[in-house]
């Protein structure tokens, strides 16, 4: 595959991608595009659980507690892979883990579609979480090592794909449901797209498989201790994911309870948060070409921290929605930039570093939104929503400290 580099005397001269890599340019080769597509499939499958849940609850007569087990099971899968995923990557290899995770997610989605009761749908969600986390860990390690100094760009762009696919999930569920086909085709149709991506990837892939990177001194990745600076970025990513899903899970209830929007109106308004996240990731992927991830992290977190008081305290519809947009815009780049900074802080140990990030991210999704919900039962959603503010403050402090080489 060739990449155009310049025009000479009116004709375009072309150079191989390997030459562009040697000259220090960022190159999206077929493996990179494949990773983007698979991360997008993961994001779609994770997000689609929310829009399908009202239909699943009605079909199976589930209460809120039973329905929430699906989200908990998916997040638990991420924690399990975070504890053991580096060993799987060392044993299987990254490409095998990447495609194995994608295939497992597809099988889990089909099991969810075909399952007659909660006794089967919850295990289906768990399998989707385990396989999806394996896919995510493999993609992050692969993109980080493959693109080196451009890893922040690659990871940001992969999360742009994730945001775009996440936005499509509720739209696809709504479209199929409104057309009379029900919610199930919204899970089945992307499996067909995944099969097409697999066919294109295997037909277009060229050259020997990527070798897993060994650490200095010949030690395989995953067997050496991670440095303190890595753990600072790990904590930052965990706080960012927790903040993101607190707003994502409870934002509609907050808007309905404090601003006075109807529930359908609040659910629609929450789309603004995900659109803002996509916009933030698009901008972040461009700025990552010129600025270090730690600097961008501090800046984007400050945007979120400036927007959240408007969202939480203003009370009026317009300023609240403006705050919602700013919060999403700021939070959007935290995950990809934080992952890039964390992996860069653990050179030669990408498998273990990516796996431990899955523990933090999965744990944040598992704990933070449900802790906010439990607090809301006691003090109300308006007051409980404020727990996001100290999480963002702590993340800013970590970004500033880790960016200067200090760990608090």
CATH of the domain at 347: 1.20.1250.20
Query: Does 10 fall in a domain?
Result: no
Rounded mean pLDDT of 387-407?
84
* Residue 65 binned pLDDT confidence (cut-offs 50, 70, 90): low
Query: Does 18 fall in a domain?
Result: no
Helix count and strand count (H, E) for the chain: 16, 2
194 and 334 fall within a common domain = no
- For 346-379, how does the pLDDT look when each residue is reduced to its tens digit (9 = 90+)? 887 877 888 888 889 888 988 888 888 888 888 8
**Triad 69, 73, 78: Cα angle to 5°:** 150
Whose structure tokens read 């005397």? 9
Query: Does 320 fall in a domain?
Result: yes
d(CA 326, CA 98): 33
Last residue of a domain, one of 157, 183, 206: 206
d(CA 361, CA 77): 11
pLDDT at residue 182 is higher than 90: no
In sequence order, the 6+-apart residues with CB closer than 8 A to the CB of 10 are none
Q: How far is CA 294 from CA 2, 6, 62, 287, 350, in A?
A: 33, 33, 44, 12, 18
Query: Residue 386, by phi and psi: left (phi above 0), alpha (psi -120 to 50) or beta?
Result: alpha
d(CA 73, CA 128): 9
State the pLDDT at residue 318. Answer: 92
Query: Which domain, by its residues, includes 156?
Result: 28-206
* Residue 408 binned pLDDT confidence (cut-offs 50, 70, 90): very low
pLDDT at residue 4 is higher than 80: no
- For 28-47, how does the pLDDT look when each residue is reduced to its tens digit (9 = 90+)? 778 888 889 899 999 899 88
Query: Does 267 fall in a domain?
Result: yes
CB atoms within 10 A of CB 296: 26
313 and 200 fall within a common domain = no
What is the bridge-based pairing of β-strands 11-16 and 2-8?
antiparallel
Q: Is 349 exposed, middle or buried (0-12, 13-18, 19+ CB in 10 A)?
A: buried
φ, ψ for residue 356, nearest 5 deg = -65, -30
Beta bridge partners of 220: 214
Rounded CA Rg of the chain: 21
* pTM across the whole model: 0.73
Q: Is 151 exposed, middle or buried (0-12, 13-18, 19+ CB in 10 A)?
A: buried
262 and 320 fall within a common domain = yes
Last residue of a domain, one of 156, 179, 206: 206
Whose structure tokens read 């965990």? 238
Q: Which of 106, 167, 112, 177 is nearest to 135 (CA)?
A: 106
Query: Does 184 fall in a domain?
Result: yes
Name the token pair of 167. 């936005």
pLDDT at residue 168 is higher than 60: yes
State the pLDDT at residue 204. Answer: 65
- For 309-336, how does the pLDDT look when each residue is reduced to its tens digit (9 = 90+)? 999 998 889 999 999 999 999 999 998 8
More confident residue, 329 or 147: 329
Name the token pair of 300. 């984007």
258 and 398 fall within a common domain = yes
Rounded mean pLDDT of 264-285?
85
Query: Does 259 fall in a domain?
Result: yes
Q: Which of 141, 299, 283 is nearest to 212 (CA)?
A: 141
180 and 324 fall within a common domain = no
CB atoms within 10 A of CB 241: 24
241 and 189 fall within a common domain = no
Q: What is the mean pLDDT of the chain?
A: 81
Q: How far is CA 138 from CA 109, 120, 135, 187, 354, in A?
A: 20, 27, 5, 23, 8
Least confident of 3-12, 52-61, 89-98, 290-299: 3-12
Query: Does 134 fall in a domain?
Result: yes
State the pLDDT at residue 386. Answer: 94
* Residue 14 binned pLDDT confidence (cut-offs 50, 70, 90): very low
Q: How far is CA 196 from CA 1, 33, 202, in A?
A: 20, 13, 10
290 and 158 fall within a common domain = no
State the pLDDT at residue 319. Answer: 94
Name the token pair of 102. 């994608």
More confident residue, 88 or 80: 80
Last residue of a domain, one of 157, 184, 206: 206
* Residue 195 binned pLDDT confidence (cut-offs 50, 70, 90): confident
243 and 139 fall within a common domain = no
127 and 242 fall within a common domain = no
315 and 255 fall within a common domain = yes
Task: Provide the number of structural domains found in the chain.
Answer: 2
Report the percent of the chain where pLDDT is more than 90.
26
202 and 224 fall within a common domain = no
Query: Does 15 fall in a domain?
Result: no
Q: What is the DSSP letter of 11?
A: E
Q: Which of 330, 96, 301 is nearest to 209 (CA)?
A: 96
In sequence order, the 6+-apart residues with CB closer than 8 A to the CB of 313 are none
State the pLDDT at residue 170. Answer: 81
* Residue 215 binned pLDDT confidence (cut-offs 50, 70, 90): very low
Q: Which of 178, 154, 194 is nearest to 44 (CA)?
A: 194
SS3 of residue 14 by DSSP: strand
196 and 322 fall within a common domain = no
State the pLDDT at residue 237. Answer: 95
Half-sphere exposure (CA, 13 Å, Cβ side) for 101?
Answer: 32
């Amino acid at each position: 595959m060739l990449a155009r580099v310049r025009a000479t005397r009116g004709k375009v001269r072309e150079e191989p991608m390997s030459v562009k890599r040697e000259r220090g340019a960022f190159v999206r080769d077929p493996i990179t595009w494949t990773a983007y597509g698979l991360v997008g499939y993961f994001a779609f499958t994770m997000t689609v659980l929310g829009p399908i849940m009202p239909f699943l609850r009605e079909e199976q007569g589930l209460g809120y507690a039973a329905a929430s087990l699906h989200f908990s099971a998916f997040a638990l899968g991420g924690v399990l892979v975070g504890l053991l995923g580096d060993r799987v990557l060392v044993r299987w290899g990254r490409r095998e883990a990447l495609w194995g995770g994608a295939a497992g997610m597809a099988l889990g989605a089909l099991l969810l579609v075909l399952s007659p009761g909660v006794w089967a749908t919850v295990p289906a969600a768990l399998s989707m979480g385990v396989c999806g986390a394996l896919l995510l860990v493999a993609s992050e390690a692969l993109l980080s090592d493959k693109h080196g100094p451009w890893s922040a760009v690659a990871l940001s762009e992969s999360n742009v794909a994730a945001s775009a696919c996440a936005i499509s999930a509720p739209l696809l569920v709504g479209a199929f449901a409104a057309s009379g086909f029900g919610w199930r085709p919204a899970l089945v149709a992307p499996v067909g797209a995944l099969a097409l991506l697999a066919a294109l990837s295997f037909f277009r892939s060229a050259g020997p498989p990527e070798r897993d990177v060994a650490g200095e001194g010949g030690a395989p990745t995953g067997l050496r201790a991670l440095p303190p600076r890595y753990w600072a970025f790990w904590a930052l990513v965990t706080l960012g994911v927790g903040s993101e899903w607190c707003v994502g899970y409870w934002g509609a209830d907050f808007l309905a309870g404090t601003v006075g929007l109807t529930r359908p109106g609040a659910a629609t308004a929450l789309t603004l948060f995900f659109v803002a996240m996509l916009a933030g990731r698009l901008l972040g992927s461009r700025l990552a070409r010129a600025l270090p991830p730690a600097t961008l992290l501090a800046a984007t977190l400050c945007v979120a921290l400036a927007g959240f008081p408007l969202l939480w305290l203003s009370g009026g519809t317009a300023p609240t929605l403006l705050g919602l947009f700013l919060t999403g815009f700021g939070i959007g780049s935290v995950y990809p930039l934080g992952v890039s900074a964390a992996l860069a802080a653990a050179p030669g140990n990408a498998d273990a570093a990516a796996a431990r990030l899955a523990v933090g991210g999965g744990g944040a999704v598992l704990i933070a939104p449900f802790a906010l919900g439990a607090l809301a039962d006691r003090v109300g959603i308006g007051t409980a929503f404020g727990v996001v503010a100290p999480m963002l403050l702590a993340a800013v402090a970590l970004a500033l400290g880790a960016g200067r080489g200090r760990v608090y």
